[in-house]
Structure 1
Amino acid sequence: MSAITVREKFAYGMGDFASSLVFQTVSTFLMFFYTDVYGLSAAVVGTLLFTARTADAVWDVFLGAMIDRTRTRWGQCRPYLLFGAPLLGLCAIATFTVPDGDTQFKLCYAYASYILLMMAYSVVNIPYGALPALMTDDARARTRLASWRMFCAFSCAIVVNTSMIKLVDYFGDGDQPLGYQSTVMVMAVAGTLLFWLCFAGTRERIWPMVQPMQVRRDFRTLVAGRAWWMMALIGTCMFTAVAITNGSAMYYFRYVVGDTARAAPYFLCVGLGNLTGILISSHLTRRFCKRKVMLLASLGAAVLYASFYFVDPSHPWALNLLGYAITVISGISLPIVFSMVADTADDAELRSGRRMVGLTASTIGFAIKLGLGLGGAVTGIILTLVGYHANAVQSPQTIEGLKLIMSAVPAIGKLVVCAIVAFYPLGQKKLDEIQPLLRQARAAGA
């Protein structure tokens, strides 16, 4: 099997740069957009985010099964990037559009547009996540691909988080709804072009045998393995914490710090921290078992998140430095998580003799969506409980709640992740045993 070139790794990474143009905009700015621009209450938005992100569970499983049965001249996963990218861009624009109408109509529109966005996101992101399992069967090479993916994703996060408010002001010129819509239009076009670059620059080397459609049987096989359950729980808990911290940041800087302009330097430090962590992760996983690396990184991130509560918000250098430190440690875990999805698919194939990369990616992708939905719901609930009111002076109780959302809540999430990782069964020794057995089985079935 030919090695993956740097050019191909770059093309693959550009796919997550494109994906993050949507993901980062939604995770950092959508809740703030809905409450302070669109005009919905925090409780309503929390319910919306949770409902929309879990409503397409059946769609994700069906899509994963379809990917496993897709056979085209472009491969199994890559065609979805080609045809799904424009659809994702259109849905993103619709989500950040404020329609004319009464509150009830706007609420229905928000539900419809956001659910469609989540479905379109699945169309490109599930096959994108499954693609490394078809590019190589080397577990370490997959981890390096995941590092490229995460490096590009957080490079995009820096671009989005540091430029979003400036672009909204530039395009809107005082009209925030127009500013958000125009900014997302630019990102949608850029994202489509980058997904097409990913499609053109990658290659699928593993061609699974044609399999009959047996979704129920495949799903039962998948969930019978402990690795799948651990991965689903890790994805849910980790991205619950991500959604809470990302979704709360704009509120924290507007109402606790008192200046949204100071969010951009903080986001820059956070993005640079993630990039540093990803680079460190690549070196650590070459020398040590990635399960152990992730366990220690999650524990360290929990300690640093808890310390965020005690930082004086009037000292920007302290906020920025701690934000950088937190994301250096958190960033170590991210490439590991996404490489573990392909490892989980290998475990299921060894047990069943059937290749289920699409179904594995879609079901774990749903767990991640569930985490993002839970994070949005938890944020909305806490904002409501502490008495948050949009575009108003906040009470001391509300300020205290915003500080806890940015510190104690994600710290607890990281501790839960740490406990789950301890029980994940696919360490490096086990993976080294699995790969020769899979190669023999594939050769026998070819």
Structure 2
Amino acid sequence: MSTKSRAQKSDIFFYSLGGFGSNLLFTLTTSFLMYFYTDVFKISPLAVGSVFLLVRVIDAILDPFIGMLADRTRSKWGTYRPWLMFGSPLLAAMTLLLFSAPDLSASNKIFYAIAVYVGYSLVSSLVNIPYHALTPILSQDPSQRTVIVTAKQLMGSLGTLLISGAALPVVAFFGSGEKGWFFTTLAFSVVTIASYWFCALGAKNADNAQVNNQKALNSHEGHPPLKEQLEIISKNGPLLALLIAGFANMTAQIVNSQTAIYYWQYNIGREDLYSQLFIWGTLLSIPAFLSIPWFVTKFGKKIVFIVSCLITILPLVILLFSSYENIAEIFTLSVLVKVLGPLSGVLPWIMIADCVDYGKWKTGINGSATIHSMMLFTNKLAAALGGILAGALLGTAGYVAGQQQTTEALNMITYLYFLAPVLGYIIAIIAFNFYGITPEVQAKMAKEIDERENQNKVVS
């Protein structure tokens, strides 16, 4: 495949649908699983945080190996597409088990949560690592990659919108409690399966048996030794900077998302505004998504990321000191935070594709899934840390499910909801100063990779 190959518009659209389905279940778990466990399954916040930490650490350790396995896959359906086609039904099934509340003793509830969460997280990796790995495979044009990632993140945002706006009403429609959550999860899981299948269809031109056969001509790229495959990570300085920034930001965002429903229910007393926040925030963020390719072309990815973090910090700081009575102000500023979010949220997924090129430039190995697995690896470690921080700090502050909260508990919810993302943005800004893939370096990488591949074609 030439380094200048581009994807068709229809392929980009179908591929982006995978982001919609992926975010349906991702948002369902990150936004509501802790609430489901504490208020429906009746597990203490500290125990829930411990479950999140244990499972995420186990799961995160496995992600790089799943990435290497995906990179080595050779089938009649391609390298990455079969994982989407056959893994998505398993992901749907595990999510159903995740939002089930069998009648068990207190200790057995914890064992059940650990077992099911491990299964869910493992299957999620088997599907989502190959999904994200397809981005640099679809197109070798850096400018089109920005469009591809923006499209899939926009679709993912619409998936988040659907969950955030419809999950609680759909749960109520099905009868609330365990029954409501089960049938709500079932409905969204079916949509997720369909979205991944459409995604696999969109990637067919770039990931198929013919492409596999071409890669097989170069055995080094097709099945490199494990030690050499790991070098695409160890020799990738820009990837390290990106992962540190992503880890800090994701940890803070997980803490924020886990405590959002608590803030609107207990601090503000307007649980209905929780759904409205995501509806308006997502709809109004669409222009921000559409502007990303222009901003990146005009100013560069690094500058856009840093500036977007800085301007998002301002409303968060104001919210941190806002009185609970100022509901209109709190809601408006919270929507603004959601509107600004895509500018910093999309860019790391664009830049990870550049890190794939950097690894290939340094080692000659095309390890897209391996490198993307590192992004998911840090995201899951961040989710583990964020989950246990949220649960532990809520428990320490005296949170009790379903009751009027103490002043200490309300203050802790506020800090977790607003202060955590501020700290995450600050650390991410510092880390991004060490990201070294400039437009000049990117042009040099593309030229030398192209020359190397043309030489390989001549030799073969």
Deviates more, 1:276-285 or 1:435-444: 276-285
- TM-fit CA distance, 1:396: 0.8
CA drift of 1:275 comes to: 3.0
Match of 1:179 in 2: 180
8 Å Cα contact 1:257-1:313 kept in structure 2: yes
CA distance in 2, matches of 1:74, 1:339: 25
Contact 1:162/1:264 (8 A) holds in 2? yes
Point out the more displaced range, 136-145 or 306-315.
306-315
| Alpha-carbon separation, structure 2, partners of 1:75 and 1:288 | 36
CA distance in 2, matches of 1:342, 1:204: 19
- The equivalent residue for 1:199 is 200
Task: Give CA deviations for 1:134-156 in whole Å, capped at 9, x if unaligned.
Answer: 11111121111110011001111
Q: Please say if residues 60 and 376 of structure 2, whose CA atoms lie closer than 8 Å, have aligned partners that are also in contact.
A: no
Q: TM-score of the superposition, structure 1-length normalised? A: 0.96
Which residue of the partner structure matches residue 398 of structure 1? 409
Match of 1:415 among 412, 422, 426: 426
Match of 1:216 in 2: 227
Asked if residue 22 in structure 1 is aligned to residue 25 in structure 2, the reply is yes
Q: Please state how far the C-alpha of 1:274 moved relative to its aligned partner.
A: 3.9
Query: What one-letter code is carried by the residue in structure 2 that aligns with 1:78?
Result: R
Alignment CA distance shift 1:236-1:123 (3 Å): same
The 5-angstrom pairing of residues 24-39 of structure 1 reads 24-39=27-42
* Matched residue count: 444
Distance 2:418 2:448 in 1: 45
TM-aligned CA deviation for residue 204 of structure 1: 4.9
SS at match of 1:423: coil
Asked if 1:92 corresponds to 2:95, the answer is yes
1:381 and 2:384 matched = no
Residue 2 of structure 1, CA deviation: 5.2
| Structure 2 counterpart of 1:187, one-letter code | F
- Contact kept? 1:155, 1:275, Cα under 8 Å: no
Change (3 A) 1:51 1:311: same
CA distance in 2, matches of 1:182, 1:248: 24
Q: CA offset at residue 244 of structure 1? A: 1.2
SS of 1:56's partner is helix
* Structure 2: distance between partners of 1:407 and 1:61: 32
1:132–1:142 CA contact under 8 A, matched in 2? yes
Residue matched to 1:440: 451
RMSD over aligned Cα, in angstroms? 1.6
What residue number does 1:333 align with? 344
| Structure 1 residue identity aligned to 2:360 | E
Specify every segment of 5 or more residues in structure 2 that has no aligned partner in the other structure, as ranges: none
**Does the CA-based 8 Å contact 1:294-1:336 persist in structure 2?**
yes
- Once the two structures are TM-superposed, the CA of residue 273 in structure 1 deviates from its matched residue by 4.4
Deviates more, 1:107-116 or 1:198-207: 198-207
Superposed, which structure 2 residues align to 1:291-330 within 5 Å?
A: 291-330=302-341
SS in 2 for 1:387: coil
CA distance in 1, matches of 2:389, 2:244: 17
Tell me the equivalent position of 2:253. Answer: 242
The aligned amino acid for 1:161 is S
Q: Among residues 9, 13, 25, which one is paired with 1:10 in the alignment? A: 13
**Structure 1 residues 275 and 239, CA, compared in 2 at 3 Å: closer, same or farther?**
farther
Distance in 1 separating the partners of 2:412 and 2:284: 25
Letter in 1 for 2:234: V
Q: 161, 164, 171: which is aligned to 1:161?
A: 164
Contact 2:27 2:163 in 1 (8 A): yes
Corresponding position of 1:75: 78
Whether the 8 Å contact between 1:269 and 1:321 is mirrored in structure 2 is no
What amino acid is the match of 2:193?
A: T
Query: Which secondary structure state, in structure 1, belongs to the residue aligned with residue 174 of structure 2?
Result: helix
CA distance in 2, matches of 1:331, 1:355: 28
Q: CA deviation at 1:26?
A: 0.6
Tell me, yes or no, if the aligned pair for 1:158 and 1:267 is still in contact at 8 Å.
yes
- Alpha-carbon shift at residue 319 of structure 1 (Å): 2.4
Q: 1:432 to 1:57 in 2, by over 3 A?
A: same
Name the counterpart of 2:152. Answer: 149
Summarize deviations over 1:63-103 as a string: whole Å, max 9, x none: 11111111223221111110111010000000000012111
Per-residue CA deviation, residues 299-349 of structure 1 (Å, 9 max, x unaligned), is 222222222112333344322321222123221122211011111111111
Q: 2:371 aligns with which of 360, 363, 366?
A: 360
Q: Please state how far the C-alpha of 1:213 moved relative to its aligned partner.
A: 4.8
Q: Structure 1: 5+ residue runs without aligned partners? A: none
The superposition leaves residues 269-289 of structure 1 with CA deviations (integer Å, 9 ceiling, x where unpaired) of 232344333222222012221
Distance apart, 1:375 and its partner CA: 1.2
Summarize deviations over 1:224-245 as a string: whole Å, max 9, x none.
Answer: 2211211221221121122111
Letter of the aligned partner of 2:192 in structure 1?
Answer: G
TM-score (norm 2): 0.93
SS in 2 for 1:106: helix
Whole-Å Cα distance in 2 between the matches of residues 233 and 264 of structure 1? Answer: 31
1:314/1:280 CA distance change after superposition, 3 Å: farther
Residue 285 of structure 1 corresponds to which residue in structure 2?
Answer: 296
4+ long deviations beyond 4 Å: none
How far off is 1:61 after superposition? 1.6
State, as a whole percentage, how many aligned pairs show the same letter: 24
Q: Hey, what's the Cα distance between the residues in 1 that align with 2:413 and 2:47?
A: 18
